[in-house]
Chains A and B, each alone.
Chain A
Amino acid sequence: MILLCLGLGLASTGCGRYAVRADEKEYLADRIMQPDYDEMETANDQHVLSNREGSTGGYGASGGGCGCN
């Protein structure tokens, strides 16, 4: 799991081939490209799971980053 987190983290740091231009963000603008496109559902999930599991936190924020507007 640590390796998975590190791998995903490293992938975030420098894999971009170049700055993605606004006119290249057609797909990024789709709601399904946002990790938490239904934030109320995400909040409910966290609410339920943090009550059943011993851990919490680490949640990311949805939206942003895509530069789609």
Chain B
Amino acid sequence: MRTAAPTASRSVRPRSGGHGRGARSLPRCGRALRSAAAGAVLAAALLSFATRVRAEDKVEVKAEYFTEPANKQALHVFHPAVGLNVDAHPIFSLNFGYEADVVTGATPRTYGAALDAVSSATRFSDTRHAFHGGAELRLGPAAVDVGYTYGFENDYRSHAVDVGAKVDLWGKNTTFRLGYAHNFDSVCDVDNKGAMPTERRSLGSSEGCFKNIVGIISEPLAIDSYAASWTQVLTPILLSDVSATFQVLDGFQSNPYRRVRLFGTVEAQESEPLLRQRVAIQARLRLAVTRARGALGFLGRFYYDTWGIKSGTAEVSWDEWILPQLLFRVRGRFYQQGRAVFYRDAGEMLSYETVGPVGQYFTGDRELSPFRDYLVGFKAAWVHNADERGKILRVFEQLDFNLKVDLIDYQPLTPLPPNQIRDVGLVNALIAELGLALRW
């Protein structure tokens, strides 16, 4: 096993938007975007303040391609990202990042009967940009971190701040971390003030968003994310990590474009609760297998929110240096979730079309339907370190070039969930990623 390989440092951090929000036509956004925003800021808060035991100068570039290649409802997302970390002082670092999502695809405008789901798929495209800046101050065994992210796309604006602190204790065998992030987000919507939920109109396109046009408004969404994490060295070959997050989303969380068919004839804008609270607990173990120069990884995660979604995640991974400079990883992941309390499936007896909303709520969001998915992934990384012959290109201490491919199979647990056509077949989604990191 290689030793003393440089640790990875922070990457591009808060994400203030999501893949799914399209613009000119009909994006698949709504909570997907909010989830991405909130989750990303939360992840950023975690990743940002605690990860660099030893800061380093690094520039990193990644290009990721995600696709759900369904017939007539294909989705394509190109996601470039670049991150830069610079040690301005032995105890002070600055970091900057940029990332984008270039999204194209097609999705049904209305959630309802099966025939419409296929025939009414509407094309959409959009690009999200997010810029980040942050700083970290290290004081002995402790470190504090602050950051700011601005993200924007045609129909969404996001300002996010995050702050965190960590401390290494007991010979650096224990690390505790706390983090907090807040999003000040705005979502473009039709002015439906005063309308009953079943009377609300959906947004036709993002034309006119954030331009003070009559009939188009901006809905606020505030997100508070709290995180705590504990990393523990258990033995010379065993490491554990336990994390918990709590998140409160307060504001508009529906997809402004999406409609749901009610009582057979009425079509109204998706209506979801304004408040959502989410809790997640995750535990991980890393076990070094010294003879194989590899490491086994285990992950378990439990999630619950006040919309009634419960989910579990399990993951196993194997990393191995198959050559002194070549790292290979294989992993498998399983995920399953239940339905939101207000989700009705179009293929069931008690659908929105037959019995109407659940209270005042109704949704056409696949993320709120019950399903499971399987992921199998492979990754290879070529890591070249400077040696006695000198630095790489006379500048760099390390070059890290990596490639990964993940395949995902979605399995719906109801007869006709939203975007059901994307769940047909064995491989429903593919993720491919190329990365290059240079350290100096």
Chain A residues in contact with chain B, CB under 8 A? 1-2, 4-5, 7-9, 11-13, 15-17, 19-22, 24-69
B contact residues around A26 at 8 Å (CB): 1, 3, 236
Whether the Cβ atoms of A28 and B288 lie closer than 8 Å is yes
Known: A12-B283, A24-B236. A38 touches B8 (CB 8 A): yes
A contact residues around B50 at 8 Å (CB): 61, 63-64
Known: A44-B62, A53-B373. A65 touches B314 (CB 8 A): no
Whether the Cβ atoms of A50 and B35 lie closer than 8 Å is yes
Q: Once bound together, how far apart are the Cα atoms of A54 and B244, in whole Å? A: 17
Whether the Cβ atoms of A33 and B288 lie closer than 8 Å is yes
Whether the Cβ atoms of A61 and B54 lie closer than 8 Å is no
Q: Once bound together, how far apart are the Cα atoms of A34 and B2, in whole Å? A: 13
Q: Which of B33, B173, B301, B327 is within 8 Å of A32, CB to CB? A: B327
- Counting chain B CB atoms within 10 Å of each CB, which of A2, A20, A53, A54 scores highest? A54
Q: Can you pick out 23 interface pairs between chain A and chain B where the beta carbons lie within 8 Å of each other? A: A4-B300, A12-B230, A15-B238, A20-B171, A20-B234, A22-B171, A22-B172, A27-B236, A30-B2, A31-B327, A44-B433, A47-B15, A47-B39, A49-B335, A50-B40, A53-B337, A56-B42, A57-B42, A61-B166, A64-B50, A64-B53, A64-B175, A65-B168
A contact residues around B260 at 8 Å (CB): none
Whether the Cβ atoms of B172 and A60 lie closer than 8 Å is no
Answer whether residue B278 sits at the interface, using C-beta atoms and an 8 A cutoff: yes
Whether the Cβ atoms of A9 and B283 lie closer than 8 Å is yes
Q: Once bound together, how far apart are the Cα atoms of A66 and B83, in whole Å? A: 24
Answer whether residue B414 sits at the interface, using C-beta atoms and an 8 A cutoff: no
Whether the Cβ atoms of A59 and B243 lie closer than 8 Å is yes
Stretch at the interface among B155-163, B302-310, B350-358: B302-310
Whether the Cβ atoms of B280 and A56 lie closer than 8 Å is yes
Q: Once bound together, how far apart are the Cα atoms of A45 and B314, in whole Å? A: 15
Answer whether residue B319 sits at the interface, using C-beta atoms and an 8 A cutoff: yes
- Interface code B216-246, partner A: CB below 8 Å = 1, 0 otherwise? 0000000001010111111111111111111
Answer whether residue B207 sits at the interface, using C-beta atoms and an 8 A cutoff: no
Q: Once bound together, how far apart are the Cα atoms of A59 and B242, in whole Å? A: 9
Answer whether residue B177 sits at the interface, using C-beta atoms and an 8 A cutoff: yes
In chain B, positions 1-28 with a C-beta closer than 8 Å to chain A are 1-13, 15, 18-20
Whether the Cβ atoms of B435 and A8 lie closer than 8 Å is no
Q: Classify the secondary structure of B's interface with A.
A: strand
Whether the Cβ atoms of A27 and B53 lie closer than 8 Å is no
Known: A30-B5, A59-B243. A39 touches B232 (CB 8 A): no
Known: A9-B242, A20-B235. A61 touches B39 (CB 8 A): no
Whether the Cβ atoms of B281 and A5 lie closer than 8 Å is yes
Answer whether residue B119 sits at the interface, using C-beta atoms and an 8 A cutoff: no
Whether the Cβ atoms of B313 and A31 lie closer than 8 Å is no
Question: In the complex, what's the smallest C-beta–C-beta distance from B5 to chain A, in angstroms?
Answer: 4
Question: In the complex, what's the smallest C-beta–C-beta distance from A39 to chain B, in angstroms?
Answer: 4
A contact residues around B381 at 8 Å (CB): 38
Answer whether residue B312 sits at the interface, using C-beta atoms and an 8 A cutoff: yes
Task: Please name 17 further chain A to chain B contacts, defined as beta carbons within 8 Å, in addition to the given A35-B284, A38-B11, A61-B243, sorted by A numbering.
Answer: A8-B283, A12-B241, A15-B235, A20-B234, A28-B233, A35-B239, A36-B47, A44-B81, A50-B40, A52-B408, A54-B35, A55-B311, A57-B280, A58-B244, A58-B280, A60-B284, A66-B233
Whether the Cβ atoms of B233 and A67 lie closer than 8 Å is yes
A contact residues around B245 at 8 Å (CB): 57-59
A contact residues around B236 at 8 Å (CB): 20, 24-28
Whether the Cβ atoms of B8 and A58 lie closer than 8 Å is no
B contact residues around A66 at 8 Å (CB): 53, 172, 233, 239
